[in-house]
Chain A
Amino acid sequence: DSGVTQTPKHLITATGQRVTLRCSPRSGDLSVYWYQQSLDQGLQFLIQYYNGEERAKGNILERFSAQQFPDLHSELNLSSLELGDSALYFCASSLQGASYEQYFGPGTRLTVT
């Protein structure tokens, strides 16, 4: 158990809908990262937050947004969903910035039908 929690574990929704994925980091970690992993694909970095502020952005679509709250939990919002958004979404946390080890949550599997 990494100490990072993600909810829900599975999500099935239709095209055009909007969903919210939730992540709670390890106790004491200030950074939260979001990744997308499609079938047999690598980890695509989406976005990083550090202590409530956006720190770095990767290949995140405009339809996607995220935020980190004062209690350090984070939410990833995906809107106008398309079939291609079906993937495993991981949240990870680290003590500080990107050069610290990251601890990954169990992931949320999103299926868009």
Chain B
Amino acid sequence: QQPVQSPQAVILREGEDAVINCSSSKALYSVHWYRQKHGEAPVFLMILLKGGEQKGHEKISASFNEKKQQSSLYLTASQLSYSGTYFCGTVPVRDDKIIFGKGTRLHILP
């Protein structure tokens, strides 16, 4: 039931790109992405609703393939401020409950 995120951790140099994947075994209505910095609360990045849309937020974008129940978060030209743990949260069809994955730790080196 808990979505699976991959990879578990990524180390990049500033300016490099990263992709974080989120996969569910259930049919999904929506996928959420949040970023949490160490010692802080999670912060909302974006929501993707059923319909296969792609969204963007500065240099961070995401896609949602509802047929495969998968979502991917794309970080391009990464900046030091992108460091943190990224969580995907999935909301199944006909359910009003969000379940978060275990998170992907992203560390950006200068």
Contact = CB atoms under 8 A, between A and B. Distances in A.
A34 interface: no
B49 A43 contact: no
Interface stretch (A17-25, A61-69, A96-104): A96-104
Interface in B59-110: 87, 89, 91, 95-103
B47 A101 contact: yes
Nearest to A55: B96
Interface residues of A, number: 26
Interface on chain B toward A: helix, strand, loop, or mixed SS? strand
Chain B interface extent, by class: 20 to 34
A48 B99 CA distance: 12
A99 B89 CA distance: 10
B41 A106 contact: yes
Given A98-B91, A102-B32, A58 B41 contact: no
B63 to A, nearest CB: 17
Interface of B: 29-30, 32, 34, 40-44, 47, 49, 87, 89, 91, 95-103
